Structure 1
Amino acid sequence: MDLLRFITAGSVDDGKSTLIGRLLYDSKSIMIDQLEAIERQSKNKEEGEIDLALLTDGLRAEREQGITIDVAYKYFSTPKRKFIIADAPGHIQYTRNMVTGASNSDLIIILIDARSGVVEQTRRHSIIASLLKLPHVVVAINKMDLVEHSQDVFNNIVIDYAAMAKSLGLEQVTYIPISALNGDNIVEKSTAISWYEGPSLLKVLENVQVQKDINLTHARFPVQYVIRPQTEELHDYRGYAGKLVSGVYKKGDTVTILPSGTSTTISAIETGGKQVEEAFAPQSIILHLADDVDVSRGDVIVKSDDLPSVGQDLEVLLCWMDSKPLVAGRKYLLQLNSTLVKSVVKEISYKVDVNTLEQHQAPEQAVLNDIVKVVIKTAKPVAFDAYEKLRVNGGAILIDETSHVTVGACMIQ
């Protein structure tokens, strides 16, 4: 059974928490004790209704404010697929939270209130989805019950959003009219919206083809661990373990170890404790090389006929996540897959307006939630791809050297 990671995003009070609660409730993914707890706490208990939004509420203090201020992860499954939901807050000051939740997602559900249509927050969340190159977008037009299930309202919102999606380069967009409160078109097709002929939201989530999004063209294998038992029975054993993030490797392939540039061939491939003739992303494997070459954690083994870029100067689009401002000259650790290297931010080139994608003059500093273009110099060469070409080898993070807190999310240009 495969896994779909998706994120929900929308303006405040668009019904994200209710939508997730309805997915969990109607797909019977709630434990009995959880159900009893939310029944006790439901605001509408007198009317016999359950407040499904409570299923995604975090700390009591957050609940009292009426907002969710972090990314909440929920897990559920159906007979067809397993799911991880990232519920990101809709407030503009929590851009970093949405970037965090979306960075590992295969799909984004953008909620639109049918009464309001496409608003500024809708555009901002769509821009972030386009910057992060999310392959699948579902536009869930919610609260259709409050507009009398009007097909004209739905069609007008689709026309407005489609024009924006085209300008942002969002290609695979699905539109669904829903009522999260009433469960219309969430798990089962709604009789109240009889004019809608497409699938329910859950059917879309179950059937979206995420395997096609795995890049099998560019072979990239970041080494996580060098296995050298040095025991009597495994005296000469030397294997390089890690996750094959993209591409396909076969026994006998000519490969290059980066950043050193040394070439050799694959003598054996192991996965699941057995030797195999080939391996493909996203398998975890052990590679054996024909020559006794120098390979360490953080090195990347690639096919010799398809090399990524190698260098020390990286141009990146950076979402700043720290309350302490970013200024040019500050030093950080940069982590790209298993590569961890000291680095310095040489310059801030410009700031991106997350509402319009306009580029503004280079600021003296970047503050929390800013998205900026920066130049980073690393202490030693690293192997990388452009994020647009290969997300799995083009996304990195910046880490504070003293606190070890992640302070920035990088998309290499």
Structure 2
Amino acid sequence: MPTGRTIVTQPPNGTFRLLGLGSWPEARRIGEILRAETVGGLLLLGATVLALTWANSPWKDAYQDLSAVRAGPAGLHLDLSLAAWAADGLLAIFFFVAGLELKREFVAGDLRDLRRAALPVTAAMGGMIFPALFYVAVTATGDGGGLRGWAVPTATDIAFALAVLGVISTHLPGALRIFLLTLAVVDDLLAIMIIAIFYTSGLHPLPLLGALLVIAVFGALVQRGISRWWLLLPLAAVAWALVHASGVHATVAGVLLAFTVPVRGRVDLAGRLEHRWRPISAGFAVPIFAFFAAGVTISGSGGLGATATLAAVVGLVLGKPIGITVSAWLVQRFTRARLAEGLSWWDVFGLGLLGGIGFTVSLLISELAFGSGSELDNQTKIGVLAGSLIAAMLATVLLRIRNRHYRLICEAEEADSDADGIPDVYQRPAN
């Protein structure tokens, strides 16, 4: 029976609220993604603990030997170590899913509204610039050897951040969770742009041109609604191999392929592919990469006193939350927007601390900057692990302090007096 209410599909007219509720369909979809990412974060945490334990045990040589095992066709220059396959191959799946999510957000999600897009995009940019500046400032006080790793603290690991939320069991409102996810997705795009521009060595034009042609064929097929795996998967693999051969980091292929997939239309191919590949990314690709990347031997790496280590810690723990909070405040300052009712800037700072959990992409950038297994790579990775842990602990304290307040907001969001399965807060009286 009619309830006299309509589902909110866009923000109501009037003063725009930062971190306010979006539409119910989008909130429901994001909720499903967040649950999947939380499980992936726990697997990621387990893989990290296993790698650190093994790499610092009496059997550490076996761990190093396993990472160095080579596999793949040598004639195609793809005889890579297992660690390289994890970084170059499996993370391409991660970035493919991130690319699908980003395109969906801006084409069919709430972020097609430029007012809503301004906050996470600006916050992500601030969350990239400030950590980089903090990192450079710290390395400048040393010998400058770690300067090439300036981009290490710029990334946010959404899976790890959501795993922290799951462990501390906070009632973080849906709007804040959506903001955190969207910020991290934009963060991933900025990170892949940094990798493509600043960490590409020896660009080879012909393989790159070949990759773009294959990606164009892939795009033409998916635009026609063709989704046969036996056709698309080989094309994606060829595109990945050509990007790898071009000198551009192979994970860029994942994002480029994702951007060709249509979001709108009779068949939601982007949604179907995202639903199919997200569990593989969160449950397999990212944890396996973490297992090979996080196995740092702590003894003999200089400890937390090394300049590169300290720079990564400062960038994540201070640069991230300050950059995100300041950028969000600037959006509020130079527009007519206001924070949603019941929220404060402490909540934004708490999300900024969660943004300081920069793990997966940070470890990848460290390897690209310094070379896997080098002294600077080990020092920087220790900084990433320590900084992420400190940021997680500080976020836990702040969000737990605010948890009683969050509970009241969530109770209002989840109220459903009409028993129609749609929270009343996402409805408004029909005209």
Q: Report TM bin, short chain.
A: under 0.3
Return the structure number with greater strand share. Answer: 1
Return the structure number with greater helix share. Answer: 2
The normalised TM-score by structure 2 is: 0.24
> Bigger radius of gyration, 1 or 2?
1
